[in-house]
Amino acid sequence: MKRKSKTIHLEHPAVFKNKLLLWTQQFDIFVWLDSNDYHQKYSSFDAVLAVETNKTLACDCKNAFDKLKVFQGEINDYIFGYLGYDLKNDLENLSSNNIDELGFSDLYFFQPKKIFLIKENKLIIKYLISYGNEIETDLESILNIKENLNKSNNDIQIKQRVSKKEYSKKLTNILSHIHRGDIYEVNFCQEFYAENTTIKPLTVYQKLNKISTPPFATFLKIKDRFLLSASPERFVTKEKNKIISQPIKGTAKRLENKKKDTEIAKQLFNDPKERSENIMIVDLVRNDLSKTAIKGSVKVEELCKVYSFNQVHQLISIVVSRVEIGTNPVEIIKSIFPMGSMTGAPKISAMKIIEEQEETKRGLYSGAVGYFTPNNDFDFNVVIRSILYNQSEKYVSFTVGGAITSKSIIANEYEECMVKAEAMKRALKI
């Protein structure tokens, strides 16, 4: 699909990014991806905006990956969207019968009419040919936009879906599965939610992003449904025939005292429990990548490296592989979905236990948002540290969780959830 392109030098990229984000608010459908200038080993752009739809694919889990494969192949262009966690039901004999108040499709992708790609001081604009004559007028509108000074947001009364007592009981059940050998590790999550609530999505996103400044921030709007994400985690990216996954497992809270903060980062790196969480998932990712990899190409580039964000330190590993040229990109993602960091190991057993013990359908949470390029590359994050909002139903939700292993202490796991929930609570002014 042909596009008209224009490249512009930006004097003040941060100012332009803010104006661009404000400009998007007039549209029903868009995806905004922002690295917040976080240094990454693998990165194509600092920020990307895809806005307005030419063609769309929205479906439930049944045959979803086959439908995406056809859609991506026929469009042969940039497509942006998301993969919901419950696409697992398209891959295995699994189901999702828990509460779902948000109502996102299991899968949604669209071919955008207009794309903005920002890398350092360079802006690349790519419009479908039939909309190419709108580039100059849109640029003028963006540059002249005035910042909305009304940034207030109502305080939100958040409820906890699972009480501390219930959480303890559920973890006791999960640990019994682990001690019996049913699983080695499982990512158990709990929802926080608010009913009959109205928020200003842009205000909440900007606040959440400022609190966390993560490398995989996302603001997604699909009509009346919003994702406001401060994700620190990449699920998977493809660069030519190289596949890169960067699972996160292992968390420690940041401290204001610099010396103590450095010490807690060292403790995280050396913590046997946190390292074992990460290594178990690295093994799972290695196994997943091997399904499409050239024999002998799966490698661990980094193991349990500490990365520091505003709220937390995290242990992140990098696992890579190479695939044969021409390997279908959707098949690669299908072979490794859902991401091991959000399931556990063994993956199928872990997902069954997640369904039994969690109260809420995950939906878009612990799924992935990203894009495919015309040359069959792709990049997807993991939807964590995120606020989800159904505007029509006036329902706000965020979910947090952690990896449970045989070494887990229930009180510590609960505290880790509360640490992870802090940024979302602050963004909602709780």
Residue 155 reports pLDDT greater than 80: no
Q: What is the mean pLDDT of residues 270-293?
A: 96
Identify the pLDDT of residue 429: 84
* Token couple for 141: 């509108």
Q: Which of 67-71, 127-131, 148-152 has the lowest mean pLDDT?
A: 148-152
Identify the pLDDT of residue 430: 59
CB-based burial of residue 116 (10 Å sphere; 0-12 exposed, 13-18 middle, 19+ buried)? buried
- Note whether 398 and 228 are within 8 A (CB): no
3-state SS assignment for residue 67: helix
CA separation for the pair 188, 174 (Å, rounded): 9
> pLDDT for 318-342, tens place per residue?
999 999 999 999 999 999 999 999 9
Q: What is the pTM of this model?
A: 0.96
Identify the pLDDT of residue 40: 78
Alpha helices per DSSP H over 145-185: 164-180
> pLDDT for 32-81, tens place per residue?
999 999 877 888 899 999 999 999 999 999 999 999 999 999 999 999 99
CA separation for the pair 166, 173 (Å, rounded): 11
Is the bond preceding residue 374 a cis peptide, omega within 30 degrees? no
* Higher-pLDDT residue of 150, 403: 403
Instruction: Band the pLDDT of 94: cuts 50, 70, 90.
Output: very high
Instruction: Indicate which residues carry an active-site annotation.
Output: 233, 249
Identify the pLDDT of residue 154: 67
Residue 174 reports pLDDT greater than 60: yes
Residue 363 reports pLDDT greater than 70: yes
Identify the pLDDT of residue 146: 86
Q: What is the mean pLDDT of residues 150-179?
A: 90
* Higher-pLDDT residue of 364, 41: 364
- 109: how many CB neighbours lie within 10 A of its CB? 25
Q: What is the mean pLDDT of residues 137-153?
A: 82
**Residue 196, CA atoms < 13 Å, CB-side half-sphere:** 0
Identify the pLDDT of residue 333: 98
Identify the pLDDT of residue 41: 81
Determine how β-strand 122-128 pairs with β-strand 234-239: unpaired
Tokens 């056809």, residue?
Answer: 70
- Note whether 61 and 107 are within 8 A (CB): yes
Is the bond preceding residue 329 a cis peptide, omega within 30 degrees? no
Q: What is the mean pLDDT of residues 157-183?
A: 97
* Token couple for 302: 């980094």
Identify the pLDDT of residue 163: 97
CA separation for the pair 189, 362 (Å, rounded): 9
> pLDDT for 104-115, tens place per residue?
999 999 999 999
CA separation for the pair 380, 37 (Å, rounded): 17
Q: What is the mean pLDDT of residues 138-155?
A: 80
Identify the pLDDT of residue 126: 98
Q: CATH assignment of 3-427?
A: 3.60.120.10
Output the average pLDDT for the chain. Answer: 95
* Higher-pLDDT residue of 229, 148: 229
Query: Measuring CA to CA, how many Å separate 168 from each of 171, 233, 265, 404, 406?
Result: 5, 27, 27, 12, 15
